[in-house]
Amino acid sequence: MTTQEILDKLPYGKSFLFVDELLHIDENGVKGTYIYTQDLPFYESHFKGHPVTPAVILTETMAQIGLVCLGIYLLKDINQNTSIAMTSNAIDFLKPVAPGEQVTVTSEKVYFRFNKLSCKVKMENATGEMVCKGNISGMLISKENG
């Protein structure tokens, strides 16, 4: 499965997609990037006059790259009507991310068993500084036929 095939399977629309590129993926982990463009709508209000990327968006970016992309890869030979949904996370936030910054997310699989995927994730800015790190887990879910 190519990285483009994985990106094409992501279940997010353009306004909620926080993955630009996958640099590496295998059965043990994934590495990808995203640029928080200055025109993202949440910057207008978070915080007024001094925009910062919300922690929930940083977490979502780590989940999309580090959990969902890896889950799609791991499920490549399994029923196409399943996906991975985040069920828990424990993230430490170390530095703010400003509009226009590119981040790199690296995820290492901790385990994938009993329909649960758990990953150790980290996010770094373009200078290699750690932005946030932690653990994210998700469960296999069946997609509704629509």
Which of the residues are catalytic?
46
Are residues 97 and 58 in contact, defined by beta-carbon separation less than 8 angstroms?
A: yes
Q: CB neighbours (10 Å) of residue 113?
A: 7
Are residues 69 and 9 in contact, defined by beta-carbon separation less than 8 angstroms?
A: no
Closest CA to 31 of 139, 119, 141: 119
Q: Where are the beta strands (DSSP E) in the chain?
A: 21-26, 29-35, 82-93, 102-113, 116-125, 130-142
CA–CA separation, 8 vs 17, rounded Å? 11
